[in-house]
Structure 1
Amino acid sequence: MKAPTKAQLARAGRRDRIVAAAREIAEVDGWPAVTVRRLADTIGFSQPVLYGHFPDGRDGIIRAVALDGFGRLAELLTAADGLGELCAAYLDFARAAPATYEAMFSMPTDLEFARPTTPEQLRAGFAPLLAAMGDETGAEILWSALHGLADLSRHDRLRPGHAAARVDMLIGLFRPGRLPS
């Protein structure tokens, strides 16, 4: 495989700057503040440059932020040692990057989960859950529970002083022999 050209590296660098700026704006001001015009002003590119990288505009940028988020989440979950650390890493990520988490799971995108066309970043994000549980159904149940805890906590729907107890209880529910086989 050939090494990337300077032009390809420059293009990738511009794309990365666009995604990073969108994520930063969303984390501070929310997704409604992320517009192609604001991004162009923030990073000093013209709007046509942004559309050159993301022909579908804001939707493509949100998709790219989501994919980047899945890649970052996969790294954190893969580094976790045991189910407790995995759960903590997932919930810490959701808490630390709420706009990215929202792009990954709540905003409309064309990302397909559990399909032959599922992007590699999504598969990588699911792989540590699958490894921890040993089967897809168990991994989906764990993911669903973690997502519910993350989303309910983000919207202040749960008692804040009980976060650790909820995670401990969740881990207890997934003890070997506790789930049907």
Structure 2
Amino acid sequence: MPAPGYTMGTTERKQRQKAAVRSAILQAAWELVQADGWQSLSIRRIADAIDYSVPVIYDHFANKNDILLEFAKRGYEGMYEAVQKAKARHAAPEARLEAMAYAYCDYARANTAQYQLMFGVGMNSCEMFRQVPRLGDMEALLEQAIAAVGEQYHATLNVHVKFRCLWAMLQGVNAAYIMEDNDAHCEQQQELILSDMIHTFIKGLKP
């Protein structure tokens, strides 16, 4: 809270105004993504939604992908927090890894628009890892959990390869969930598939 007699300087006022415009751009963009999908997003549509000129949008973001990348960063942050919380709830390595895998999928299912955007931005994986540090943190978190299961059974694992296998399986299950109609029967089948997949993966970590 400003001290009595405090007067905001010109620089600070401009910074706050710039932050407010940036926030408005992101809010409008996210509403458009939720309504029509991220593929339909355009700088022109964002400008029209908040009644600004197109150059104003470009003052804050280089292009549409720059905006989508911001949403992807937020998505990875939220997913990382969900997986981290799942890890903290369990001490036993197998239960911990299982809970983390479920948390990963639960986050994707609860945030399908954001999840699709996280893996749909037109950027190769190396560039994505560079731009989104939480993606690397997520990899490290899951690799540590996989390694802990292997250590429990004195198994020699290629942890990174095992991580890539788990990642691919979780991605596949999530993609199937998003594409399905998701009536009660489909959801039940998806849960059975996810449970079987996770248990089979963990079993494969044992010698």
TM-score, length basis structure 1: 0.79
Q: Deviations along 1:126-154, whole A, 9 cap, x unmatched? A: 23322221222222111111100001111
Residues 86-101 of structure 1: pairs in structure 2 closer than 5 A: 86-101=100-115
Question: Alignment identity in percent?
Answer: 27
CA contact (8 A) 1:68 1:121 kept: no
CA contact (8 A) 1:129 1:139 kept: yes
Deviation at 1:44, TM superposition (A): 4.1
Matched, 1:71 2:85: no
Q: 1:80 is paired with a residue of what secondary structure?
A: helix
CA contact (8 A) 2:108 2:174 kept: yes
Structure 1 equivalent of residue 175 of structure 2: 151
How many residues in Structure 1 have an aligned counterpart in Structure 2?
175
Consecutive unaligned residues in structure 1, runs of 5 or more: none
Q: 1:106 is paired with a residue of what secondary structure?
A: coil
- Name which of structure 1's ranges 66-75 and 152-161 shifts more when overlaid on structure 2: 152-161
- Name which of structure 1's ranges 9-18 and 149-158 shifts more when overlaid on structure 2: 9-18
Consecutive unaligned residues in structure 2, runs of 5 or more: 1-10, 88-95, 148-158
Deviation at 1:125, TM superposition (A): 2.9
Deviation at 1:114, TM superposition (A): 8.4
Matched, 1:30 2:37: yes
Is the helix fraction higher in 1 or 2?
Answer: 2
Q: Which has the larger radius of gyration?
A: 2
Which residue, out of 126, 136, 141, partners 2:160?
136
CA contact (8 A) 1:80 1:89 kept: yes
Residues 94-133 of structure 1: pairs in structure 2 closer than 5 A: 94-109=108-123, 112=126, 117=130, 119-133=132-146
TM-score, length basis structure 2: 0.70
Equivalent AA in structure 1 for residue 187 of structure 2: P
Change (3 A) 1:16 1:137: farther
**RMSD of aligned residue pairs (Cα, Å):** 2.8
Structure 2 equivalent of residue 172 of structure 1: 199
CA distance in 1, matches of 2:43, 2:128: 31
